[in-house]
Amino acid sequence: MDFGRVVTAMVTPMYADGAVNYSQAAHLAEYLFEHGSDAVVVCGTTGESPTLNTEEKLRLLSAVKDAAAGHGIVIAGTSSNDTAASVALSCRAAELGADALLLVTPCYNKPPQEGLYQHYAAIARAVELPLMLYNVPGRTACNLEAATVARLAEEFPHIAAVKEASGNLEQASRIRDLTPPAFRLYSGNDGDTLPLLALGGSGVVSVASHLVGREIREMVDLCLGGEFGAAAQLHRHLADMFKKLFICANPIPLKYALNRIGMDVGGCRLPLVSLNAAQKQEIDALLDKYNLI
């Protein structure tokens, strides 16, 4: 499956009391498709999936899927550190019409590579949707090795891509070498997009595309079109955005930024908290630099 070149990992809009704002989620999805995104992820890390219950995840998927009709691809985050629960949620997301699934490596319990293989194999046997693996060891304390990715891609053709957020370009290169040409390699870090594309990547699963989606899309298009100099120049222009959206845990800075530009997404659920005063000034300066406020 072609997931496109720019996939946005959506925030989950919330009301002041912490309840999910489903209508605003639909509006945000429409906005993202109009501003450079080919696909959106609902209920990923940026969407605060650890604090969303199953009913909320499924309602979000339905709301965004309705809004996306005719505009782009909707990918549902359905994996957790419980394989049985991941299989069950994946099946329900498929029934609700998700176009694909994003499957993060199990966090905290630190399975060995065979455990990771069995986790993903169980989901792959249960659903026929295109699947994107998600490797983010900085959050999960678990690295999905290139050989395991290749093993899964070979055995299950609908395991079609990986979101590689390890920051390890050597590992990304090895994934590209070991997997079939049709298998898609996506950057999971905005700042790694340009070098990963040069290694044979297909695009990015982005956070910053909430704010500079068209610019990121232009950068990816330039790079994949062979205009590396122009792509590198645009990458350098966006580098400050890529860095400062992570001055503390994602999506805290991003939600603050979206609220400041008039996209009412509310705050974060505990244990995530608001930016402090100095951090707010830093994000305000960032938004001013990119002419967003």
Please list the active-site residues: 134, 163
Question: With contact defined as beta carbons under 8 Å apart, do 139 and 107 qualify?
Answer: yes
CA distances to 22, 82, 131, 173, 288 from 163, rounded to whole Å, are 26, 20, 10, 13, 30
Amino acid at 39: A
* CA pair distance 243, 64, nearest whole angstrom: 28
**Over the Cα atoms of the chain, what is R_g?**
18
If you count them, how many residues does the chain have? Answer: 293
Greatest Cα pair distance in the chain? 51
Residue 115 is given by DSSP the state H
* CA pair distance 249, 45, nearest whole angstrom: 10
Pairing status of strand 131-135 against strand 159-164:
parallel
